[in-house]
Structure 1
Amino acid sequence: MFTYSFAKYKSFYKDNLILALPIVGSQLGHTLVHMADGIIVGHFADTAQLAAVSLVNSLFMLVLVLGLGISYGLTPLIAQANGANNQAECGKLLSNSLLINFATSIVLFALVSVVEYKVIDHIGQSADVVAHAKPFLRLLGLSIFPLMLFQAFKQFTEGLGFTKQAMMISIWGNLINVLLGIVFVKGMFGIAPMGVTGVGLGTLIDRILMATAMGTYVFNSKNFKAYLVQFKLFSVDLSRIKKIIKLGAPVAMQYSFEISAFSGAGILIGTIGKVEQAAHFSALSLAAFTYMLASGIANAATIKTGNNFGAKNYKELRLSAIASYHIVIAFMSLTALIFVFANNYLPYIYTNDLKVIGIAAKLLLLAALFQLFDGTQVVGLGVLRGLGDVNMPTFITFLSYWIIGIPVGYVLGFQLGLGVDGIWYGLTFGLLAASILLFIRFQNRTKKLLENPIELKV
């Protein structure tokens, strides 16, 4: 029988929220950049260019999540080393993470170039949309280099529990991005109007500034002096590189399977029409905003789980993880209600095109439906990542999104004639499957830890 005691979890709610809220703020940075791009283009350009933003985001996120996932492999290792009071190890891990992230940037930029020159012309998109998309995609590709450097410093500091600085840098970075985007897209202060290319240039400049600020903070703050004693910029340690990639690569695949499913849905919708594609982008951007709230909670769960796992506090590990589940359910229930009651108004954030708004409003009702599933599955991934359990969760994400989500969406959308709605129904089924399977995995793993009293810290 289900029982609940607020007093039992109260301290964990407080600790998790203190850690999570700044991470939520910095996590939102990635989404807000793309949201701002869409809002600026939607209001200062036209529907074709808004559709180009949707197309580029669908393609670019397929590449970017690989890099983000690799960078996330650092956080649980830092949290575990810090939990075991091994400060020197943290600095060595940062050294190798910077090298990994820079090498990853080169590979990802090459992939973006392949998409621009070999792929984007051959996926059934409108010609005018593709023409606007290419220069925008090129600039986002270049922005991968500073973004991945920023990620190395961000994951290092968050793994140690210092989360506020990355949040502040992300907030200021987004303000700069918005201002630059408006100036470049609209054409102000003697600058010729650039259209959608302008938001790409603004994003590139913004990410260079963010990486510089984050690196300056890490190397000059007294908070990290003890951790950086053995830091060497060009120190290559294959064993540590292997450890980071062993965690980071499956995490990259987890994010890739999920994001690629949504990107694949966007490309499928683009074959229906640019109005539908613009509506998909508008609704999905709002859903992605709430997803990043959940992702911030999940990253905090990774850190707390890693700390407790490193210190062998298995009972607290489980209670803290369950508290994270409670928090994300509360957050996503609230956002679901907002989508339900404001679905006809929220699309105006992006566009005044009534056809786009009508379709987006319906999609937001479906987004409200999958909010809880989206939140609980990402927290499940976060907790398991803190345990170092990444391989089975990777298989679960592949199964959920590409064996269930996309095929069901294709059948409902095209074979049964439900169109955009059908594709989104498929995504909802995929999220539901991931949520259930990851929760079962979490229950099994943490209960096994508790059942072995030899390993419990007294």
Structure 2
Amino acid sequence: MIQTYSRKQKIKQLLAILLPILVTQVTMQLMGFFDTIMSGQFSTEHLAGVAMAVSIWVPVYTGLSGIFLAVTPIIAQHVGAGRRDKIASSLIQAAYLSIIVGVAVIVIGAFVLDPIFNWMTLEPEVARVAREYLSALGIGVIPLFLYTVLRASIDGLGQTRITMFITLLSFPINVFLNYCFIFGKFGMPRLGGVGAGLATAITYIVIFIIAVILMKRNEMMRSLGMLGRFEAVSFAHWKEVLAIGVPIGLSIFFEVSVFSAVTLLMSKYDTVTIASHQSALSFASLLYMLPLSIAMSMTIVIGFEVGAKRIQDAKQYARIGILSAVSLSVFCAIFLFLFNENTARLYSNDPQVIALTQVFMVYAIFFQLSDAVAAPVQGILRGYKDVKSVFIIAFCSYWIVGLPVGYVLAQTTSLEAYGYWVGLIAGLAIGAVALFLRMAHIERKAKQGELAI
């Protein structure tokens, strides 16, 4: 990354960082997209089983991996401030921490999965697929968390093309392995939805290995000492990562887990409703990669400018990012409205699932508009290392407003399952407004020199 002096230069640098992130995020989301589609083509029960498993795994992974996203603003600010000697230690210490977290997830998962599925009122085959999917996924948990640290470090340097390249290499591997293990091709066992979990775990291992190889061969990263040595554990570094990362992880957890909670609450409905809800949510999540990628880009460029104490430049980047996200989300909302039937047919051949998915997708349109503001503003605030406010707003908007309103609507009105989506839309809209107001406050403090950097 370099200092920029005009809006045109900022747009050019932002695009250079954003486009690889977008490709990376969309490709990673497509892995889950193909898990869902290919499991749905196997059977509706396996689609529902994967939906249940994903509803448990995604909030756990995204919440815990969010801790290590702290490495991105830490390294970006090191780069902006010229503290090159501190970059390698930030990566190495976060990697140590990620191993501990990965082991904890595996151990805890071994004890809690059976009680969770015994509590849920699922059809036996749906419960079996969900349980075995998560067990297979556990093989790749530690490599996944390690890769998250490596990716956050690479992105913090502004080298987002490298993570794009890694993801593009891994995507066809994931789809091929899905094909083999779901449908029993090329001599592999025919595992259905469980095969999607095994394929994803192997893919996690592959992307970690590829990342290590590329970082070892990158001249700039070698000069910074990244992956070039081992260090003694530094609790001071762990404290820095946790102080920034835990609020990031919690805010992501509260956002993602509320969708999983809705999916779990929908276990009272029939398998067709569960499958339709998950199909619509899967596509909405794919479209969310646009504002999310802009948010991740904002964290990098804002962190770089704030580290160099160029607050006005950071503010200009923020406005460019928000405007871009709003424009793209309006386009996506129009697309989703016009082509919802075609999109629904990608997930299932069952006419009932297709019809219900179309209705859910209409509600998903409103997610796009609120996300256009909420996502980039979250990225901007993280660039300033203002993470506690994002966590508080996420908790209140989803768990104090969104889920309770959705539950009441689902239980007391004719909306039934759709009521959950209406409640979440309300919570997301309130959260977007609160985040924007917080961003304006932080920018004023930074401009007046009252913000610790």
Same fold (TM over 0.5): yes
Q: Which residue of 1 aligns with 2:215?
A: 218
Aligned ranges 1:307-326 → 2 under 5 Å: 307-326=304-323
Aligned ranges 1:18-417 → 2 under 5 Å: 18-43=16-41, 45-228=42-225, 232-417=229-414
- Quick one: distance in 1 between partners of 2:26 and 2:136? 21
What amino acid does structure 2 have at the position aligned with 1:36? Answer: F
Contact persistence 1:99–1:234 (CA under 8 A): no
Structure 1, residues 395-438: CA drift from partner, whole Å, max 9, x if none? Answer: 10000000001001101111223122111001101110111100
- Quick one: distance in 1 between partners of 2:295 and 2:235? 29
Which ranges in structure 2 are unaligned for 5 or more consecutive residues? none
* TM-superposed deviation, 1:8: 7.3
Contact persistence 2:51–2:278 (CA under 8 A): yes
Q: Which residue of 2 aligns with 1:4?
A: none
Go from structure 1 to structure 2 and tell me whether the alpha carbon gap of 1:363 and 1:116 turns closer, same or farther (over 3 Å shift): same
Contact persistence 1:257–1:401 (CA under 8 A): yes
- Quick one: distance in 2 between partners of 1:39 and 1:229? 38
What amino acid does structure 1 have at the position aligned with 2:129? Answer: H
SS of residue matched to 2:340: coil
* TM-superposed deviation, 1:230: 9.1
- Quick one: distance in 1 between partners of 2:231 and 2:120? 41
1:418 corresponds, among 415, 419, 434, to: 415
Q: Which residue of 2 aligns with 1:447?
A: 444
Q: Which residue of 2 aligns with 1:427?
A: 424
- Quick one: distance in 1 between partners of 2:127 and 2:62? 22
Seq. identity, %: 29
- Quick one: distance in 2 between partners of 1:307 and 1:377? 21
Larger CA deviation: 330-339 vs 76-85: 330-339
- Quick one: distance in 1 between partners of 2:151 and 2:40? 31
- Quick one: distance in 2 between partners of 1:112 and 1:26? 28
What amino acid does structure 2 have at the position aligned with 1:206? Answer: T
Contact persistence 1:95–1:231 (CA under 8 A): no
SS of residue matched to 1:225: helix
With the length of structure 1 as denominator, give the TM-score of the two structures: 0.94
Go from structure 1 to structure 2 and tell me whether the alpha carbon gap of 1:454 and 1:205 turns closer, same or farther (over 3 Å shift): closer
- Quick one: distance in 2 between partners of 1:453 and 1:390? 17
Contact persistence 1:26–1:171 (CA under 8 A): yes
Contact persistence 1:143–1:204 (CA under 8 A): yes
Larger CA deviation: 225-234 vs 250-259: 225-234
SS of residue matched to 1:345: helix
Go from structure 1 to structure 2 and tell me whether the alpha carbon gap of 1:93 and 1:343 turns closer, same or farther (over 3 Å shift): same
SS of residue matched to 2:348: coil
Larger CA deviation: 150-159 vs 16-25: 16-25
Go from structure 1 to structure 2 and tell me whether the alpha carbon gap of 1:229 and 1:134 turns closer, same or farther (over 3 Å shift): closer
- Quick one: distance in 2 between partners of 1:345 and 1:174? 24
SS of residue matched to 1:56: helix
